[in-house]
Structure 1
Amino acid sequence: MAQALGAQTIYEIKQALHRCPVQLSRLVIHKTQDYALELVDYKVLVRLNPLCKALYLLFLQHPEGIVLKEMSLYKTELWNIYLQVCRHNDLKSAEKSVAELCNPLSNSIHEKIARIKSSFETLTDKHIAEYYIIAGARGKAKKIALPPNLIVWQ
Structure 2
Amino acid sequence: MQRTDFSKMTCSIARTLDVIGEPWSPLILRDIWVGITRFEQLMADLEISRKVLTERLNHLVGHGVLERRPYDRRPRYEYVLTRKGAELVDLLMVMNGWGNKWLAGEAGPPVVYRHHACGEVGAVDLRCAGCGEPMHAHDVDPLPGPGAAG
- Asked if TM exceeds 0.5, the reply is no
What's the TM-score once normalised by structure 2's chain length? 0.34
Q: Of the two structures, which has the highest relative contact order with CA contacts closer than 8 Å and spacing of 6 or more?
A: 1
Query: TM-score, structure 1 length as denominator?
Result: 0.33
